[in-house]
């Protein structure tokens, strides 16, 4: 299949690599051209522009950073206009509900398929083709891309015909991850203040009451006080909590914990920690308790 792939950060590069390994004809584009070089060595064609990656593609995947990047690339960058009628765009990025609604209309007016397929998982999970992918879109569009999603996913979670459903599930899920990190950060500060190390406390929690990947993975980082390299940047976590708050405002859904997360993440950004993993929120909790690393 002729595939375009836009956005080659750690997640996107791993996903595109799996499509190349499966024998598909993949054309890639990234704002920084250097990120495309390893994929070119694997057999990908490197496009000079996003529209060039879309021209002639049967399916185009996008793993871009935020709403601004998605809008700039897809609409301003001419991707939707360059795609052949009947092609399908698969959006893997975490975007706002408002932009998702706009994209649904933009695809329909151009005769394009649109599948929202945001992912849960970190770069190593993406490389293993074991992501959890939440998928929604019209049945014919989903059927077209299903074989490709199967190459990327450990499990696919169908959410129906409306792409908004997948978008809001992803936003809600990332909010819950942030809430889990905040709870670990505060509880760890509490136990440290009473002489129990973060490693001892989180070992108990992540192997008993909270034996789940989020607590094991992020708890492990907090226990070691190691937040680089980032699996998911703190600045992106701030963006996603903002998406949750905006979606909540639109439907008058009170989310007081989201406001707390916003403030913690903002404090982290003010300290210059935007590029560390968002498990680094634990630094804020420790600093508030006047605990030294």
Residue 76 to residues 81, 135, 170, 204: CA-CA distances in angstroms?
Answer: 10, 25, 25, 50
Residues with catalytic roles:
170
User: Which two structure tokens, joined as six digits, stand for 148?
Assistant: 């490709």
Phi, psi of 175 (to 5 degrees): -60, -45
Q: Residues 150-188, buried b or exposed e (16+ Cβ, 10 A)?
A: eebbeebeebeebbbbbbbbbbebbbebbbbbbebbbbb
Q: Give the other-Cβ count within 10 Å of 195's Cβ.
A: 7
Concatenate the DSSP letters of all residues of 225-270 into one string. T---S-SSBHHHHHHHHHHHHHHHHHTT---HHHHHHHHHHHHHHH
Candidates 278, 283, 179; CA nearest to 237 is 278
């Amino acid at each position: 299949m002729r595939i375009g792939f836009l956005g080659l950060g750690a997640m996107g590069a791993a996903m595109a690599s799996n499509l190349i390994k499966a024998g598909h004809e993949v054309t890639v584009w990234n704002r920084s051209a250097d990120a495309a070089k390893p994929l070119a060595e694997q057999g990908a064609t490197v496009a000079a522009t996003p529209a060039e990656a879309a021209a002639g593609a049967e399916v185009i995947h996008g793993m871009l950073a935020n709403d601004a990047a998605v809008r700039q690339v897809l609409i301003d960058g001419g991707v939707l206009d360059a795609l052949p009628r009947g092609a399908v765009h698969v959006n893997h990025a975490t975007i706002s509900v408002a932009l998702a609604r706009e994209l649904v209309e933009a695809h329909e007016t151009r005769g394009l398929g649109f599948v929202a397929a945001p992912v849960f998982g970190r770069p190593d999970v993406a490389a293993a083709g074991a992501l959890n992918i939440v998928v929604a879109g019209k049945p014919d569009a989903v059927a077209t891309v299903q074989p490709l999603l199967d190459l990327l996913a450990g499990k696919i979670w169908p959410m129906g015909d409306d792409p908004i459903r997948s978008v809001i599930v992803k936003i809600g899920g990332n909010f819950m991850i942030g809430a889990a990190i905040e709870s670990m950060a505060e509880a760890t500060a509490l136990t440290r203040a009473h002489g129990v190390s973060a490693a001892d406390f989180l070992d108990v929690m992540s192997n008993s009451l909270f034996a789940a990947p989020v607590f094991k993975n992020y708890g492990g980082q907090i226990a070691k006080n190691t937040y680089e390299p980032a699996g998911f940047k703190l600045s992106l976590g701030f963006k996603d909590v903002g998406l949750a708050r905006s979606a909540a405002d639109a439907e008058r859904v009170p989310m007081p914990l989201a406001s707390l997360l916003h403030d913690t993440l903002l404090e982290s950004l003010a300290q210059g920690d935007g590029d560390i993993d968002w498990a680094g929120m634990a630094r804020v909790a420790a600093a508030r308790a006047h605990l030294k690393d």
